[in-house]
A and B are shown apart, each in its own frame.
Chain A
Amino acid sequence: MTMPALDVSGLTKTFSGFPAVRDVSFSVPAGSITGFLGPNGAGKTTTLRMALGIIRPDAGSAKLFGQPPTLRALDRVGFLPEERGVYRKMTAEQVIALFARLKGVPAAEARRRAAAALERFGLAASAGKKVKELSKGMAQKVQIIAAIIHEPDFIILDEPFSGLDPVNQAMLEDVILEQAAAGRTILFSTHVMAQAERICDRIVLMARGQKIFDGKVDEALAVVPRLVTIGVDSDDDISALLSRFGEVTRLEKDVDGVTLWQVALAAGIDPQHVLRACVEAGVRLTRFEPVRPHLHDAFVRLVSASDPLQPVEGQ
């Protein structure tokens, strides 16, 4: 079995008596794109900092490629922190080359890679400009390049989409997919569910310092009941017919005066079963719309269900 890129076990960290992270364990399989999701204050950043050895856990351990997060292991990691910046008085090329060299790339190769990356990201003309002279979007690209310039095996992105305009968000999404296609492992934290759902193979969900879900995206979606919306051209009560398939709700009529019903399907029920039952019962359908569940719904449901944490006694 391939060694996971990251394996954290029982990670716990408390700040001034408040548990920021409590007994968190999960693995990031090599070659996967893993979303590290959770609301603000869930403990994602603290977990990532412990995973990278930036701060020491109170309990538990983190292993990168099967070993503690030593500088040697960190050379194989590219990290884009949530609070990011670069040296504003250095040129774009110098910044990228500096971070490449800090990760062990030889000087000449660092400069060559910096020039090539800037070319690829459409910043070749700005290579010699100081970062403070670049637009915000251009500076963000420089930061992203600096995080991956040393061609790491494992890329950790903390809230990479925050603060990016839609164009740069799309660009970053492409970069993530491209890096994954090249065989690299990606772990990124976010609370933008749409992106996570589009990109991730699997997710780890945090809430109030604890892990509340760890698995494939489909598994996460499975916790949310699928919905079917039905429009009927009459005021007849069909709740008895529909209740066999799940929880039934009568909605407000739509603008055309059509009566709307919604069925939250019970486990194992296929929308086709509902459709067949309606047809057989002679219900005059004007609308039949299975609604695909989204990660956002799973996220809200899982977070709502998690227990709030209490301050640790004695700290």
Chain B
Amino acid sequence: MRAIYLIARREYLSYVATWGFWLSLASVPLFMLIGASIPALVQSAQPVRHYVIIDETNTGLDDVIQASIERERREQTRAALEAAAAVSADAATRERALAAFDADPLGLDGLDDALEILGMQGSADMIAAGTGRLIRLDAPARTLEGLRPYLLGERQVATPDGPRSLFAAVFISQEAGSDLPLINYYSTNVTEQSLSGAARRALRDHVREQALAERGLDPAEIRELSSLEPEIRNFNPATVDDSEVGAADWAPFIVAIVLAIMLWTAIFSVANMLLTSLIEEKGGKIIELLLSTVRVRDLLVGKLLGVAAVSFTLFAVWGLIGTTVMLLAGTFLQGIDPELAGLIGEAVQPGLFLAALGYFMVGYLMYGAIFLALGSLCETLHDAQTLMSPLILVLMLPLMILVFAMRSIDSVAVQIVSWVPIWTPFIMIARLPSDPPLWEIAGTTAVMLLTLFLVLWGAASVFQQGALGHANADSVKRIFSRKKPVRDEE
């Protein structure tokens, strides 16, 4: 035990003393922060886009589209204002602010007043982001050929922000023999579809309303008909209180899939750390000195535990940060969206995280031991890469299965692969929220633990041969090529 402790301690301290460890420690919260901020950043960093609409039908369809875009923009702005008010103001102030906003029922003229009531002067741009950044201009030409230089950036058009290129041109026409308008949308940006989508929605609603009006319905009836929508309620017969299935019910499935992917990433990264350190150690010719002091199994276990301790330190710090963020987010969201706050509460299931911890430990020990054994056969990282390639493919498979099986996590195929012990940690953690039978959990766990034992035993044997140079990467290649062995010992 003394040797295992000292080897593990040395491994642990050697990692903790590196820049890489501290970078890893900081990188996950940092990337999560960046990841969480990206949608908002992308949204707020949307450039102002100028477009023109050419209505060749001359029936006012351009104004229909424009009105629809402004309506959508107003709705989004109101929702953003409501969310901001929920956080920053009491109920009475919220009411006053929304009333001020609604003073202009069709536009955004009430926004500044509403923000002033909330004490958020100067936030108009942030609150009115999104479609608000699409600005319609008077067309400098009426034909595609005339507009092409503006769309390609060869010519610029006067805008309130100065001369600019055109983001898009929307042509509305009507083909002979058809009652429906045709939209031809031109833009060099083929991925940004918000304007074309808005135009399509606006004209779709418009032609439907027109068709209904032509059939003698008045506008009130049309609105009533348009708002008709059947209600669908989802239930899970397994729930005792017959409550409706909601986001809180599927949240654990998503969390489990995310955990499985995180588990995979963590195991792969940590096993790689082990491999690199071992090859470095072999290069430094320390192994034999160690083996004269400790037994090979102690060395293997010590190294595995040392790096496991590094992982747990990382997880502990990340977990602490994550829990703090969750608690803060829960408190924050309680005021804005109690349902979302509840969803976070449902998603964080201690049992699932404990199981993930267990699966991580077994998976890590299994893959770590295999990586160590193979690493002991290699002199350089290049050698290691050759041997690792098949193993990495084996490691990739459960990840691919998870991606394809997200919608049917309890399919027979997934049930079968969860019995493959080297995949069990990833597949079973993803399956746990679907309550697989207890015998299946126990059975896969037993097979997995038995395999772990065999892997540790085999890895120790390979490690002993490899560490002392009695076997190497060529030995493995010879097994497959069936070449006659050559003498490799004095």
Contacts and interface: CB of A to CB of B under 8 A. Distances in A.
Interface of A: 15-18, 20, 40-46, 49, 52, 54-55, 71, 74, 77, 79-81, 83-90, 98-99, 101-104, 143, 146-147
B22 to A, nearest CB: 15
Given A41-B490, A54-B292, A74-B292, 16 more contacts: A16-B489, A20-B489, A20-B490, A45-B490, A49-B468, A54-B291, A55-B464, A79-B289, A84-B285, A85-B285, A87-B10, A87-B14, A87-B284, A90-B14, A102-B290, A102-B293
Contact of B489 (A46, A52, A101, A147): A46
A77 B292 CA distance: 9
B292 A15 contact: no
B487 A15 contact: yes
Interface of B: 2-3, 6, 10, 14, 17, 281, 284-286, 288-295, 464, 468, 470, 485-490
A18 B489 contact: yes
Contact of A81 (B10, B289, B490): B289
B14 A89 contact: yes
B293, B295, B470, B488, most chain A CB atoms within 10 A? B293
Contacts of B490: 20, 40-46
A98 B290 CA distance: 11
A17 B485 contact: yes
A40 B288 CA distance: 19
B293 A16 contact: no
Contacts of B17: 89
Contacts of B486: 16
A54 B489 contact: no
A87 B11 CA distance: 11
A85 B292 contact: no
B284 A85 contact: yes
Nearest to A81: B288
Contacts of B3: 71, 102
Contacts of B10: 87, 90, 98
For B17, B295, B489, the residue with the greatest tally of chain A CB atoms inside 10 Å of its CB is B489
A20 B488 CA distance: 10
A83 B14 contact: no
Looking at chain B's contact residues, the main secondary structure is loop
Nearest to B292: A79
A14 B461 CA distance: 17
11 contacts: A18-B489, A49-B288, A71-B3, A80-B289, A81-B285, A81-B288, A81-B289, A85-B286, A89-B14, A102-B293, A103-B293
A86 B290 CA distance: 10
Contacts of A99: 289, 293
A52 B292 CA distance: 6
A146 B18 CA distance: 24
- Greatest chain A CB density within 10 A among B281, B470, B490 is at B490
A46 B487 CA distance: 14
B217 to A, nearest CB: 81
B14 A54 contact: no
Contacts of A43: 490
B427 to A, nearest CB: 38
A81 B470 contact: no
A107 to B, nearest CB: 10
A78 B151 CA distance: 81
Contacts of A15: 470, 487-489
Contacts of A80: 289
A250 B274 CA distance: 67
A54 B467 CA distance: 11
B6 A98 contact: yes
A43 B489 CA distance: 9
A82 to B, nearest CB: 8
A44 B284 CA distance: 22
B485 A87 contact: no
A212 to B, nearest CB: 16
Contacts of A104: 2
B293 A74 contact: yes
B292 A81 contact: yes
Contacts of B286: 85-87
Contact of A16 (B281, B464, B485): B485
Contacts of B291: 54
Contacts of B292: 52, 54, 74, 77, 79, 81
B313 to A, nearest CB: 19
Contacts of B288: 49, 54, 81, 83-84
Contacts of A103: 293
Task: Select the residue from B17, B285, B292, B485 with max chain A CB neighbours within 10 A.
Answer: B292
B178 to A, nearest CB: 76
A211 to B, nearest CB: 15
Contact of B295 (A17, A71, A79, A88): A71
Contacts of B14: 87, 89-90
Nearest to B294: A102
A43 B288 CA distance: 16
Given A15-B470, A102-B3, A103-B293, A83 B285 contact: yes
A90 B14 CA distance: 8
A16 B488 contact: yes
Contacts of A71: 3, 294-295
A276 B290 CA distance: 61
A85 B282 CA distance: 9
A69 B398 CA distance: 44
Nearest to B485: A16
B306 to A, nearest CB: 13
A99 B291 CA distance: 12
Contacts of A74: 292-293
Q: Which of A43, A80, A101 has the most CB of B within 10 A?
A: A101
Contacts of A20: 489-490
Nearest to B284: A85
Contact of B284 (A42, A54, A88): A88
Contacts of B489: 15-16, 18, 20, 46
A246 to B, nearest CB: 38
Contacts of B6: 98, 101-102
Contacts of A77: 292
Nearest to B489: A15
A104 B6 CA distance: 11
B464 to A, nearest CB: 7
A42 B489 CA distance: 10
B79 to A, nearest CB: 55
Contacts of A52: 292
